[in-house]
Amino acid sequence: MFRRFFFFISMAIPGMAQDTRILSYVKGTVVSGEQLSGNHLVVELIESLSEKRLARAYVGADGSFEFRDVAAGVYSVELEASSGEPIQRQTVTLRFNGDQIEIRLPAPESNAARSGTVSVRELQHPLSPKSRKKFDAAEKASAGGDHLKAVEILRGTLSDASAAPYARLNIGVAYIKAGQAAAAIPEFEEAARLMPEEAVAHIDLAYALLLTKRYEFAETECERALQLDRNNYKARWVRGTVLLQRGSRDEEAVEDLRFASREIPKAKVVLAEYYERRGQKDAAARELREFLPRASSEDRVTVEKWLSKLMAK
């Protein structure tokens, strides 16, 4: 079980005048050395003396959360899994609108299970040392371009119940990197079965389905991911792309891609393609110009040529 930290106020200070101000909003962030995987994390606002639970906020993919219409005062905040399992608790004093609550998680021992992501399941069920070594070896193989060797190494962890869900997920990722999207699908399906509460499993499955042009199923998995993490940028990017491919709900698709472009710049390229198909060259050019500052050197050359052709039409 993930180590818990509890800090309590022992008692109120006698004689202090009661603060009756209502704060219209208080913002917070869960800080981790790894990216959090979304709205399966919840923060509870708790009255310090009575332990009454006053408000509940879901944690976004970027670690952010917010409480509204809170009385100024001293509270406990508790980070929990959506099941109600406590992860971390601390005391905060809220005095002004916009006060910031920071919940800082200790650095995870290993990011082998999935580079760049830490989940509630990882916090509660860490990998065994043996499996961790295999994940490290697989990550090294994949970083060197030998993705199928990574698959072989990861299959050696499937007998470890704590490792199997992440092994399936990473095997799927390795197949995607190897250009074998169809082979990735059953791996992601099994990962989603083992971790139904993890948005990332549904998102990766949706992406593989998109690559294999199984658009209807890809959209379904995006919806499942967004039920778990309503602000997930990758899910919005995949769903927006899928909707445009299906030729349905274009306005919703554009909204998804605009949202996703905050974190995934290439969503702008998908939008540019959409506008160009519709004959809206100025709109297409605008998306490409907005993408350029965040483009790689290789993408920049392609986009600049594309822009020149658009302007010549």
pLDDT tens-digit map of 57-79: 888 877 888 888 888 887 889 98
**Stretch 89-94: mean pLDDT:** 83
Side chain identity at residue 275, one-letter code: Y
Q: What is the pLDDT of residue 207?
A: 93
d(CA 48, CA 53): 9
Cβ atoms of 73 and 94 closer than 8 Å: yes
- Of the pLDDT bands very low, low, confident and very high (cuts 50, 70, 90), residue 23 is confident
Give the 3-state secondary structure of the chain. Answer: CCCCCCCCCCCCCCCCCCCCCEEEEEEEEEECCCEECCCCEEEEEEECCCCCEEEEEECCCCCEEEEEEEECEEEEEEEEECCCCEEEEEEEEECCCCCEEEEECCCCCCCCCCCCEECHHHHHCCCCHHHHHHHHHHHHHHHCCCHHHHHHHHHCCCCCCCCHHHHHHHHHHHHHHCCCHHHHHHHHHHHHHHCCCCHHHHHHHHHHHHHCCCHHHHHHHHHHHHHHCCCCHHHHHHHHHHHHHHCCCHHHHHHHHHHHCCCCCCHHHHHHHHHHHCCCHHHHHHHHHHHHHHCCHHHHHHHHHHHHHHHHC
Side chain identity at residue 3, one-letter code: R
Q: Is the pLDDT of residue 83 over 60?
A: yes
CATH (residue range 22-104): 2.60.40.10
pTM equals 0.61
Supply 234's token pair: 């990758």
Supply 101's token pair: 């609550």
Cα 134 to Cα 131, 137, 154, 163, 220, distances in angstroms: 5, 5, 7, 10, 33
93-119: pLDDT as tens digits:
888 777 788 888 765 444 434 444 444
Q: Could you tell me the residue ranges of all domains in the chain?
A: 22-104, 117-312
- Of the pLDDT bands very low, low, confident and very high (cuts 50, 70, 90), residue 125 is low
Architecture of domain 117-312 in this structure? Alpha Horseshoe (1.25)
128-146: pLDDT as tens digits:
788 888 888 888 888 888 9
* Burial 154-178, CB ≥16 within 10 A → b, else e: beebeebebbbbbbbbbbbbbbbeb
Percent of the chain clearing pLDDT 90 (strictly above): 28
Supply 237's token pair: 């990017």
d(CA 257, CA 261): 6
Average pLDDT, the chain: 80
Supply 65's token pair: 């959360």
**Stretch 17-26: mean pLDDT:** 67
Q: Is the pLDDT of residue 53 over 70?
A: yes
227-274: pLDDT as tens digits:
888 778 889 999 999 999 888 788 999 999 999 888 888 899 999 999
